[in-house]
Amino acid sequence: MNAATRLSDRFARRFAPIALEDLVAEAELLTRVDRKYLMTADEAVRILDGVDERTRVLEIDGDRASQYGTMYFDTPDLLSYRLAAHGRRRRFKLRSRHYVDTDAAFLEMKTRGSRGTTVKERIEQPADAVDRLTDEGRAYAAEAVESLGLGAAVADALEPTLHTAYRRTTLLLPEGARATVDTELAWTDAWGDGMARPDLVIVETKSSSRASSLDRLLWRGGIRPVGISKFGTGLAAMRPDLPSNKWSRVLRRHFDESAHPALHAA
């Protein structure tokens, strides 16, 4: 049993379950402060063993970890990526998220709000349309990008760019904050390149303002927030010609091909 599997197994055995509707009712947090952490699966097993026992874990149809597939859309010149890479205040990220186990799908637009908060809005879409933009989806994207001062032509140019796959466990912490733990990470870009990192775990905490109990646990374990984006970091790792200073530290430490020769084995 690998470290990522051990981690999911321990979550399943330790914590009481919570249903999706109850999780949403208690902590929807569509407007929130996110903190992301990247660590090895072995580090995650060691540190997350200290998560508060009152934590609850999302359970859907008896499963406490769910398979996710996400398609990110960008323009041919990668405007969304470049806005993020250069830290522009007005930026967007459009993605189609597929909850594989339940076959539900949503088109999500993430923008940066005031004081660094993330604002996420989404609409339902057919599960068979997750890899493309429908007319309704493109109109939805056009409204969002125009609100940022970008022209409608940006929405017209959006196309499938990067697909990510991972297995996610969702936690509701005692104080009402949420956290996700992503394992079995894999990427495939629109040009046919692939990358898999089953040895890494991404933990993301989601709270309204102050640091959560899980944030403090990670800090005590020597794990600090990092600037990682599945879209940005993944694309930069596979396309070294792209500007990537924003993620350079993460790329050097965790995505250096000389240190990880099987990096592009997906």
CATH number at residue 168: 2.40.320.10
**256 or 99, which is more confident?**
99
Q: Is residue 260 part of a domain?
A: no
Q: Is residue 264 part of a domain?
A: no
Q: Is residue 91 part of a domain?
A: yes
**Pairwise CA distance, residues 138 & 150, whole Å:** 14
Q: Confidence class of residue 256 from pLDDT cuts 50, 70 and 90?
A: confident
**243 or 89, which is more confident?**
243
Closest CA to 181 of 173, 169, 172: 169
Q: Is residue 142 part of a domain?
A: yes
Task: Specify whether the CB–CB gap between 248 and 238 falls below 8 A.
Answer: no
**147 or 160, which is more confident?**
160
Q: Is residue 186 part of a domain?
A: yes
Q: How many domains does the chain have?
A: 1
pLDDT value at residue 12: 72
**Pairwise CA distance, residues 162 & 229, whole Å:** 12
- Which contacts of 113-117 are long-range, i.e. CB under 8 A and separated by 24 or more positions? 113/31, 116/33, 117/31, 117/32, 117/33
Q: What is the mean pLDDT of residues 35-56?
A: 92
Range of the domain at 133: 3-254
pLDDT value at residue 24: 83
Q: Is residue 261 part of a domain?
A: no
Instruction: Tell me the percentage of the chain whose pLDDT exceeds 70.
Output: 90
Q: Is residue 263 part of a domain?
A: no
Q: Which residue carries 């321990």 as its tokens?
A: 10
pLDDT at 117 over 90: no
Q: What does pLDDT average to over the chain?
A: 88
In this predicted model, what pLDDT tens digit does every residue of 161-215 receive, in sequence order? Answer: 999 999 999 999 998 899 999 999 999 999 889 999 999 999 999 887 788 999 9
pLDDT at 36 over 90: yes
**Pairwise CA distance, residues 170 & 29, whole Å:** 13
**Pairwise CA distance, residues 129 & 98, whole Å:** 10
pLDDT value at residue 9: 75
Q: Is residue 49 part of a domain?
A: yes
Q: What is the mean pLDDT of residues 96-108?
A: 93
Q: Which residues contact 120 (CB under 8 A, 6 or more apart)?
A: 30, 31, 108, 109, 110
Instruction: Tell me the percentage of the chain whose pLDDT exceeds 90.
Output: 62
pLDDT value at residue 209: 72
Q: Confidence class of residue 259 from pLDDT cuts 50, 70 and 90?
A: very low
pLDDT at 3 over 70: no
Q: What is the mean pLDDT of residues 16-21?
A: 91
